[in-house]
Amino acid sequence: MFDPLLYEFSLPLRESYFPLGNELELATNSRDVAEAAANLWSRYPGISADPPVRLRVAVSRENAAQPPEPAMPRGHEHLIVTAHGPGNFAVCDLARSVSFVCLTPDVAADLPYVTHYFLEPLVYLMLGARYFTMVHAACVAWNDRAILLCGDSGSGKTCLAYACARRGWTFLSGDATQIVRGAEDRTVAGRPFTIRFRETARGLFPELNAWRSAPGPNGKVDIEADTADLNLKVALRAQAGYVVFLDRAPDACAASLEPVGFDEAFSRLEQAIFAGSAQMRMEQKKTLAQFLTLPALRLKYRSAEDAEGLLRSLAVDGQP
């Protein structure tokens, strides 16, 4: 059959997963891609009975003629395109919740690369357009009351979330938290099964010396650990009670909290990527604005131990 556009290209490996609790239908011809997807999402329980988002990953027979070159995705309305070279690219249709990926075998075999540049961003873009508003924040919960820990890169979000979790808090996320759109109780969803640290975290948490660090696809040297191996209590979702912006200050005498106004909180959190049509992006921003009717606070702290104690008082008593 004449099929120059490869519409009938066989993708015999099929599996369903539930990232963030929502169904993903994966089809591929690559066992490497199937393994990467299982590593990412096999432990997520199904929550939603909605139709799945769909990910199609076709791997060619020939290796790349030249090494792939990562590039920032670009969007127009409901379409997202990312291209890393002639043989490695993806198109994502957020309106139909389907992504189509073409990879070469050498790239498909590089599981960290495929995960970082293709699988995770495409799936979370589709889920975000349909269900969530994503913010760059760690998230922990005490007695089911979640606190989002927000801040710029290097502000200590992951380390403070881990410091809380090793003292009995429930861990939801170390870097990215999703606000569930339409949830009047301000439910948030996390990615609780792995946690990624910077190399400097070894100085704070000696137990991390049991894990190797490795350069990631983005060039950063990280320690990635399984939260089960760290004996952390985890949850996929919780009801948020507070939004806390981190201000790590080596000269602080004691940890302290002060209010943050709506305008400042919104301007800092809207730096996350809102994707999709104008209507989709408006809905995501509206959700963020509604979410920030929660108390927003600035946490000035020197040590994670002091900060954890103050956050615990906040979660238990409603005041530091």
Q: Which residue has the tokens 């590593």?
A: 39
Which H or E run includes 297?
A: strand 296-301
Say how far apart CA 56 and CA 41 lie, in whole Å: 16
In this structure, how many other beta carbons lie within 10 angstroms of the beta carbon of residue 8?
Answer: 7
In tens, the pLDDT along 107-140 reads 999 999 999 999 999 999 999 999 999 999 999 9
Rounded to the nearest 10 degrees, the angle between the axes of helix 262-269 and helix 278-291 is 140
CB proximity list for 79: less than 8 A, separation 6 or greater: 91, 92, 93, 94
End-to-end CA distance of the chain: 70
Residue 119 dihedral angles phi and psi, to the nearest 5°? -65, -60
Neighbours of 118 (CB within 10 A): 26
Domains and CATH numbers, the chain: 13-131 (no CATH), 133-317 (3.40.50)
State pTM to two decimals: 0.92
Kindly give the confidence (pLDDT) of every residue in the chain, 320 residues in length, as a single tens digit, with 9 standing for 90 and above.
777 787 888 999 999 999 999 999 999 999 999 999 999 999 999 998 899 999 999 999 999 888 899 989 999 999 999 999 989 999 999 999 999 999 999 999 999 999 999 999 999 999 999 999 999 999 999 988 899 999 887 778 999 999 999 999 999 999 899 999 988 889 999 999 999 988 888 888 889 888 887 777 766 778 889 999 999 999 999 999 999 999 887 776 778 899 999 999 999 998 887 888 899 999 999 999 999 999 999 999 888 888 898 999 898 877 65
